[in-house]
Chain A
Amino acid sequence: MKQPNSQPASELMLRETASQTAGPYVHIGLALAAAGIPTRDEEIWNEMARPEAEGEHIEIVGTVIDGNGDLVRDAFLEAWQADSKGVYQREYDLAKPFNSFGRTATTFEHGSEWTLRTVKPGRVRVDGIDEEHGAIDDKENDLASARSALLMAPHINLTLFARGINIHLQTRLYFEDEPEANAECPVLSRIESPARRQTLIARREEADGKVRYRFDIRLQGEGETVFFDI
């Protein structure tokens, strides 16, 4: 019985398990309500912030569009973001007011939008050190590179899976109403083309007195969203 993964390609490392498309029925595994099957008691889903969570409550909505300009109706997305204070809340617990991780999917209904209900994330340092947890002594501070202390603009990390997508696509959502922060974000600045940088900026809308941000993802062609290799 051969175990290929346990035979390293070199002396030093195993090979990563190869990626495959999540396929058209991804929902039955990861988004049960969207698949039309009974949900379990606790599902990881798209309400990342309960009403009592601190911060500015927002809704994010968007579509996913393919190279033919058609809506992708079977997309599955994951979101990872800091809380309103700029701290990543790793421990996932549905009883908590806020979780940094969420999942969503484009609906099968007309318009095929995905939604997330969350709070606007605070700014995070490149090295993740924040006021609460950053007990850095001065010695370390001298040695730390200037870059690691830089503040990124508020953003939501998005991962996209779907039929036809062989390895997941990774992108970031930034906010239209944070122009100064966006201008100095070291990650946004990595994108050479100013026009392409714009594809990561979510547009602010107001609907029924609620703040909403729209973020359409274009997989291919004109206005193609920037995707990262992280």
Chain B
Amino acid sequence: MQDDSKRFVERDRNWHPPAYAPGYKTSVARSPRQALVSMQHATASELTGPDFRGLRMGPHDNDLLLNFRQDPSQGQGLPVGERIIMFGRVVDQFGKPVPHTLVEMWQANAGGRYRHRNDNYLAPLDPNFGGVGRCLTDEAGWYRFRTIKPGPYPWPNDVNSWRPSHIHVSVMGPAISTRLITQMYFEGDPLIPLCPIVNTLKDPEAVETMIGRLDMARSRPMDCLAYRFDLVVRGELQTYFENQ
């Protein structure tokens, strides 16, 4: 297993949000004060990662309209909310598709309530909605989920902070060094520029990378809308010359 012949483009840590972002209050006590120790030469540990093709997934793992297991005696209804397909392509920074990689997502329901033991927001739980999905990208790097659009919700950052509608998205990529967790926001949402978590990013173009775009071509008439969200992971480079 020889991985010394490749490396990944270094992360731009001025593009990503900094650890210490005082507008997002929890980051104040949870951010390191010391500098990161950088590895100029990644080792086999950083250049390898898991392959989840052997993970046996259920038939509706990527369909949040159907995958919440609940008491069958209560009937099998559908979740309330705006039906959407969320889909996109995972590529690296050189535009190369990343096939067979694990994409996972989680979200609140249409009212903005999470099905998590610690969420006590006023909006009720939806008995037909869980809020979790996962899938592998196909041979061409595409992933797709079916879900409902999550609602915005309030949280105790400032006196009156509200998260924009968002879906949490996690991608592995080819190695542990390409691993990324982000959030997808929805095109046109007026809460986006007001959000302290969105505003941890200094570059407005970085915010643009997190916005899902309405895609009428992939919407289904009389059924659901579609939002496209491509994921870009660190670019993979082949090193052709020896370190002499």
Is the CB–CB distance between B55 and A220 below 8 Å?
no
When C-beta atoms are compared, the residue in chain B nearest to A169 turns out to be B32
Q: How many residues of B contact A (CB 8 A)?
A: 99
User: CA of A225 to CA of B57 in the docked complex: distance in angstroms?
Assistant: 36
Interface residue B24 (Cβ < 8 Å from any Cβ of A): yes
Query: Which of A13, A127, A157, A163 is in CB contact (< 8 Å) with B2?
Result: A127
Query: Which of A16, A155, A227 is in CB contact (< 8 Å) with B93?
Result: A16
When C-beta atoms are compared, the residue in chain A nearest to B94 turns out to be A13
Query: Which of A101, A145, A226 is in CB contact (< 8 Å) with B243?
Result: A145
Interface residue B118 (Cβ < 8 Å from any Cβ of A): yes
User: CA of A17 to CA of B2 in the docked complex: distance in angstroms?
Assistant: 28
Q: In the complex, what residues of B have CB within 8 A of residue A91's CB?
A: 50-51, 53-54
Interface string of B1-28 (1 = CB under 8 A from A): 1111000011111011111010010111
- Chain B 169-224 residues near chain A, CB threshold 8 A: 170, 176-177, 179-183, 197-198, 200-201, 205-211, 213-215
Rounded to whole Å, the gap between the CB of A36 and the closest CB of chain B is: 4
Query: Which of A133, A144, A186, A220 is in CB contact (< 8 Å) with B242?
Result: A144
User: CA of A225 to CA of B2 in the docked complex: distance in angstroms?
Assistant: 30
Interface string of A12-25 (1 = CB under 8 A from B): 11111111111111
Is the CB–CB distance between A229 and B242 below 8 Å?
no
Q: In the complex, what residues of A have CB within 8 A of residue B198's CB?
A: 20
Interface residue A61 (Cβ < 8 Å from any Cβ of B): no
Knowing A25-B106, A41-B56 are in contact, say whether A196-B34 is a contact too (CB < 8 A): yes
Query: Which of B49, B117, B200, B228 is in CB contact (< 8 Å) with A80?
Result: B49
Interface residue B135 (Cβ < 8 Å from any Cβ of A): no
Is the CB–CB distance between A17 and B58 below 8 Å?
no
Is the CB–CB distance between B106 and A28 below 8 Å?
yes
Interface string of B49-67 (1 = CB under 8 A from A): 1111111111001000000
Is the CB–CB distance between B32 and A220 below 8 Å?
yes
Query: Which of A15, A32, A161 is in CB contact (< 8 Å) with B232?
Result: A15
Interface residue A207 (Cβ < 8 Å from any Cβ of B): no
Q: In the complex, what residues of A have CB within 8 A of residue B55's CB?
A: 42, 44, 92-94
Interface residue A168 (Cβ < 8 Å from any Cβ of B): yes
Query: Which of B3, B11, B19 is in CB contact (< 8 Å) with A16?
Result: B11
Query: Which of A35, A128, A130, A224 is in CB contact (< 8 Å) with B117?
Result: A35
Is the CB–CB distance between A17 and B19 below 8 Å?
no
Query: Which of A17, A40, A133 is in CB contact (< 8 Å) with B231?
Result: A17
Q: In the complex, what residues of B have CB within 8 A of residue A162's CB?
A: 30
Knowing A21-B24, A127-B4 are in contact, say whether A155-B45 is a contact too (CB < 8 A): yes
Interface residue A38 (Cβ < 8 Å from any Cβ of B): yes
Query: Which of A72, A90, A125 is in CB contact (< 8 Å) with B30?
Result: A72
Would you give 13 A-B contacts (Cβ < 8 Å), ordered by A? A13-B235, A15-B93, A16-B15, A19-B16, A21-B200, A30-B104, A91-B51, A94-B55, A124-B44, A127-B3, A133-B2, A219-B29, A230-B46
The 4 closest A-B pairs by CB, nearest first: A128-B44, A29-B106, A164-B26, A93-B54
Give chain A's interface residues, CB within 8 Å of chain B: 1-6, 9, 12-30, 32, 35-38, 40-42, 44, 66-68, 70, 72, 74, 78, 80, 82, 87-88, 90-94, 99-101, 108, 124-130, 133-134, 136, 143-145, 147-148, 152, 155, 157, 159, 161-169, 172, 186-187, 190-191, 196, 219-221, 224-230
Extra inter-chain contacts (17) besides given A37-B116, A163-B30, A166-B31, CB under 8 Å: A4-B208, A16-B234, A18-B15, A19-B17, A21-B181, A24-B116, A29-B106, A91-B53, A93-B54, A94-B56, A124-B44, A128-B4, A136-B2, A145-B242, A168-B179, A220-B30, A220-B33
